[in-house]
Structure 1
Amino acid sequence: MNGTLVDENLGLFVAVARQLSFVEAAKRLGMSTSTVSRRIALLEETLGTRLLQRTSRRVGLTLEGTRLLERAGPLLDQLGAVLDQSVDREEEPAGRLRVTAPVTSGGQRIAPLLFSFAARHPRVAVELTLTNAVVDLVEEGFDLAFRVGPIRDAELVARRLWSIESVFAASPRFVQDTLKGQTQLTREALAKVPAVMAMPRGVWRLRRRDGGVEEVRPMEVRVAVNDTQVAVAAALAGLGVVSAARELVAAHGKKLVPLTVKGRTPEPRELFAVYPSRKQLSTRARRALDWVMEHGAPESPRRA
């Protein structure tokens, strides 16, 4: 297989790995599912390793696939950014930049980046809407959105920004009274403890050491809320175990005790920048996206 074909198949692998779906990746790429599957199989044969775990119900990353995605994904994103910068790169951005982002990651990460971008470009005015709802970007008139993946809308262009690494945590009193001082749990024990949920579908997704992903559905959900900071507040009140971004847990110091699950870690969530595929990005939106991608992951490029 020649090098060009390997490069093309690598792009297909990254698309499938980010969507964890051959069907969704094929739709996004305008190809048939069988073609995508066949070409990724060729890539695996060329590399001599299995990159994806395929079952009739889901697609998961192997350890080798996870490592390849972590290395190749950012390089492909950078290439896309370089190509974008080749158009109107000298034009000074101006006008109102309308952006939507999740409440927690938007407030903690995206907002400061957009503010620094606006400070650099005085002709740009920023209008930031923080919401966990999935809004129609065209109908609502947004230039750009930031969303936690996977992105399953084939009408959107998605660019991965960084991974949000999560940890389990609970209040010290909860650890002592309910967990009897134990800070390492088994998968089975995790399912039985009172839970504070800030995750979609009421499940925790765990990544095994072999790269596979599995779901744990808590038997007792004490609090369910669509905002992570509020969920953390419930955990601080001793209502249960919460899964939240590592930096958010760390910000509370000794008021929260990190918990581990034997042989497993919370599956990282991927943060994407998205915009409609049929709508060309304005200069201000493209420059803002470039700024976020360049300055957005200060100390831990792949962690929140």
Structure 2
Amino acid sequence: MDVLSDVVAAMRTGRPHSARRDKYAPWGLRFAAADEAGFHVMLRGSAWLIPQGGEPVALAPGDVVFLAHGQGHALASGLDVPLQDVRLLPDGTWSGPPEPPAGEAREGCPDTVTLCGTYRLDRDRAHRLLAELPEVVHLPARVGGHRSLWAAVELLGMELEERRPGSEAIVTSLLDTLLLYILRAWWESERAAGRDRGWAAALADPAVAAALRAIHGEPGRAWTVAQLGAVGGLSRAAFARRFAALVGEPPLTYLTWWRMTTAGRLLRHDDLSLREVSERTGYTSEFAFAKAFKREFGVAPGRYRRAG
């Protein structure tokens, strides 16, 4: 089981959206805080990312920024440029800079071309893996760096520039791929800089990563700490200490949380009976499952399913 892919799939709701925008200086856009996670990619030109309450970040051609927590921010051609509020459109994209007055055409190439997008995430079940990310993840372009990320960006940009048959499905798949590449690139950068901690360290640790794959692969199995430690080749005590230090909670606490997250996903997106959901998440009776589910979500499983 690929833990990163599993976590992202569990948190994602709805469909991601993206747009390619041409911008002519001077320009400045203000994005309000939102539930969505967002990204900006500089395909051409430069800009400033101005986070709420944070220091401005200079963006150069090829740079990628990811805002995992939906923080309000601005994107502008300069720090002294007036900012225009933009809004989320019904299709999930943001409105762009104002178009030129009727009869006036833009001349020449745009100063800046950006690729921007949003992901809808279930904040009620925010996984620790994404919760650890900083407000702004900045991935500067560098020769030979993050080649897979930029291959996905290039393909996405091509599809958005000229819509062709199949583009809708291709764009959705590329956006999902891009999110995984962004997360992978950031963790690789953290390890390269010697800041290997938290979930970045957990996924890189052979014993803990093996146990996480086991949990995600078989959440319904009656795992013990000793069994999970054996999967990673460690004694019970040594494994429990390492897991808690890297993941931030004991193994069985994480197991229970992931079982409930899995149950919520199955109730909302699969036509399974309550008995089948309880069995898949490690509960021997519907009553025990319903009690645990209500303790975690605050509502009974049936009501949770109907509300979805």
TM-score (norm 1): 0.26
User: Which structure has the higher relative contact order (CA within 8 Å, separation 6+)?
Assistant: 1
Please identify which structure carries the higher strand content: 1
Bigger Cα Rg: 2
TM-score (normalised: structure 2)? 0.26
